[in-house]
Amino acid sequence: MKGYFFIVSILATSLLSGCATPKTQVITGADFVESITPYVLSHNSCEKYKQIRVEGSHPRNLEKDTLNSVYMTGATHYRVNKVTETDWRDRPTGYLVQTYICKSKGTNS
């Protein structure tokens, strides 16, 4: 009976405490990185920069990890070329990303 109570209390604590995955914080400056659109690509003097891989992320953190990785390369914009990894529920956990440097920021219209 003690073992049953112990298991139930652990499950209840897990459910009530929320997600166990640590949340990724967007680093200062990375919040200005944007995905690229055809308009921005053609109107803002954008050049391809580097192709990077963002891997091993939790699906809920993948977008923030992508922003941080693109910012760390010095790029201003990015495009996801391919999903390279998925979890057991088929949610993306890794991307192949093309980064761009655009001369003027513009808007993503």
- The CATH number linked to 46 is 3.30.1660
The reply to whether 93 falls in a domain is yes
- pLDDT of 109 strictly over 50: no
- pLDDT of 55 strictly over 90: yes
Tell me the pTM: 0.75
The reply to whether 42 falls in a domain is yes
The reply to whether 33 falls in a domain is yes
**Other CB atoms within 10 Å distance of the CB of residue 39:** 12
The reply to whether 98 falls in a domain is yes
The reply to whether 95 falls in a domain is yes
The reply to whether 32 falls in a domain is yes
User: Shortest CA distance to 34 belongs to which of 95, 81, 91, 75?
Assistant: 75
The reply to whether 3 falls in a domain is no
The reply to whether 15 falls in a domain is no
Q: In terms of pLDDT, which residue wins out, 32 or 8?
A: 32
Q: Which residues pair with 100 in a beta bridge?
A: 48, 77
Instruction: Give the structural domain span for 72.
Output: 23-102
Number of domains in the chain: 1
3-state DSSP assignment of residue 17: helix
